[in-house]
Structure 1
Amino acid sequence: MSTSLELIVLQDPGEVKHAKNSVKLMKAVLDSLRVEVGETPSDFASLKAYLDSVDKPIYLLYPSEHSQSITQQRVASDAVLLLLDGTWRKAYKLLQLNPWLQQYPALHLELDAPSHYTIRKAKRDDSLSTLEAAALAIKAVSPNADVSPLNDALAALVEQRLNAMPVAVRARYGQND
């Protein structure tokens, strides 16, 4: 799948080898996804240099008291969208360790349904996988975009993981036979 929106994922190192990592699926589906793994500004120095040279709008997809809804903001279809990949705690840590990210306008998603990423527990109701956030963002910026390849890949991963679980474990994820 291709999109004119330039997606860049800043990924916490602990997520790279995680079996339920949705960014692996994103890499398989999106032809131009860029993933930068790290924690500190020095880890992201080449990314920052690249972003400093870009002549198009750059946004950070991260909900906060200062973020604006991606549907209300007029985001150009060729803008750069930065996504933080990790648990909420890890994503917040990435943001705190990299204050340069706060120079970009922050956007949040308007959620009308819960996450379909049921194989990973989340304490917040607005938790999404990075893949789901990317799909919703692409759709918000380009309403005619077909994001079904992303959604289908996630659904297949969830089904595969659930089918591999013992029945008792599957029940903890709200899945019954």
Structure 2
Amino acid sequence: MSRVRCPRCLRPQSHCLCADIPHCTHSHPVIVLQHPSEQQHAKGTAHLACLALSNAQIMVGETAEDFAELKQQVELNPDQFFLIYPSETSQAIEHRATSKNAASVVADSFPTILLLDGTWRKAKKLWHLNPWLQDLEQFHFDRAPHGQYKIRKTSIDKGLSTIEAIGYALNQLEMFDPTPLVGILRALANQQLSAMPAAIKKRY
């Protein structure tokens, strides 16, 4: 029998994180394109990030057909979207942030930030299966802090969890304080560690 889950944070009721999820306001809308394999992952952070953020959502899928409505919006107004993804043509988001003066930030209509959520292999699959994303401006992180989510391994040097990537992107674009999002991540990590046998916990 499966464990009863909290309908909001989707964690088991005994490990509900709702009390650790603050309300964070921000200007840039956020859309997370999530690979289906990530949807039920116990260590996933995208859903928790979207619960905390005032203007964020998840779209689950793999192909262009799965994201048809968003694809249409992007093709109609490509300047209103950009993608966080370290492609061969991506630019450092830090450079974009410092090149915008205060007056232009106020005048902007705040483009939507798109992120790909999944393991690095699954994120690359989303990238290749959705060539419409490749027409957007793409950005990577040059000076992001070291990732704090040690309990989930990544093959990417200095890789960040989705919740950390969202927080850092918003911080660079609009001086958003990512501390509350990092707090959620720590609460999740502490839960996962507390449930691990001592022998396994030593690996982290």
TM over 0.5: yes
| 2:138 aligned partner | 106
**Structure 1 runs not aligned, ≥5 long:** none
How large is the RMSD of aligned CA atoms in angstroms? 1.6
Give the CA deviation at 1:166: 1.1
Q: Give the share of equivalent positions with the same residue, in percent.
A: 42
Give the CA deviation at 1:133: 0.5
Would you identify which runs of 4 or more consecutive aligned residues in structure 1 move more than 4 Å?
Answer: 53-56, 74-77
Pair 1:113–1:27, CA change in 2 (3 A) = closer
CA–CA distance in structure 2, aligned partners of residues 97 and 103 of structure 1: 13
Q: TM-score, normalised by structure 1?
A: 0.90
CA–CA distance in structure 1, aligned partners of residues 54 and 182 of structure 2: 15
| Greater helix fraction, Structure 1 or Structure 2 | 2
**Structure 2 runs not aligned, ≥5 long:** 1-23
Give the CA deviation at 1:125: 1.3
Check the 8 A contact 2:94/2:143 in 1, yes or no. Answer: no
Check the 8 A contact 2:74/2:80 in 1, yes or no. Answer: no
Check the 8 A contact 1:2/1:32 in 2, yes or no. Answer: yes
Letter in 1 for 2:187: A
What SS does the aligned partner of 2:143 have?
coil
Which structure is larger by alpha-carbon Rg, 1 or 2? 2
CA–CA distance in structure 2, aligned partners of residues 36 and 112 of structure 1: 25
Q: TM-score, normalised by structure 2?
A: 0.79
Q: Does 1:14 align with 2:37?
A: yes
What SS does the aligned partner of 1:72 have?
helix
Pair 1:46–1:112, CA change in 2 (3 A) = closer
- 1:47-86 correspondence to structure 2 within 5 Å: 47-54=70-77, 56-73=79-96, 74=99, 78-86=110-118
Which of the residues 33, 56, 60 maps onto 1:37? 60
